[in-house]
Structure 1
């Protein structure tokens, strides 16, 4: 049996589940100060934990958009901070900002190859022109043009009404 890139996905998903459970247990359980065992401050531990979880999520879900996964990770970080208010732990906005720093650092690193490709392939275009070419921004409705038959009064009337109702872009 040869190892293929697709074999990484189930392993990464299992590691992600274990990692999320570990982070939830460490942040909500009676383990205050556990990061000092590793020689990290509280904020560095938050950034490291959520950054590593996002990095594993990129491998676990290769067909998901990285930006969406970043937003989900930020929401999980906020959820953990909110949940800490209900247990004997302290929650703070600064902890969530530390989560966000770790998450964004991993996201920015993951985008380097995409940015390199844009510079190589589309370096002469403006960002607005690149965004206009994005297939996700295309109209959902197909552009269909009906040409009236020459000499037909009904077709000319229809074309006139259609052009008033649906102006050209």
Structure 2
């Protein structure tokens, strides 16, 4: 979380965020493995306001919004005979439940996701494993950029503690 101390700083923060000058990255633990170890998913999402759920739909569907997500598999392991993947995700767009919907749609839902994870054999084990871990950017008048990082340590991220220690 980033706070501004003055109204001028708040306006500058807002302007930079809207201009896409900051990069926010997430870590997540997914049930399963992904065929490609890195890539970009471009899907169209539709939000059902009545159910507060989003789904991947055809681009031609009225109200569908383009959703672009970049991912990198950092590590894989087995837990209770189930494959798990530690994945870093960067969003190009910010849609309703975007990471949750797209990972589930592509066959590897998020650990602990009670809305979109229909594959998890033991639903409800711990919290949802989706962690905003890195914010990078540059202030308007700053020569060097900044990087704020926070690594998760709870289960299931602890299954990947060696890899997390390298980040």
TM-score of the superposition, structure 1-length normalised? 0.23
Higher relative contact order by CA 8 Å / sep ≥ 6: 1 or 2?
2
Larger Rg: 1
Considering fraction of residues, name the structure with more helix: 1
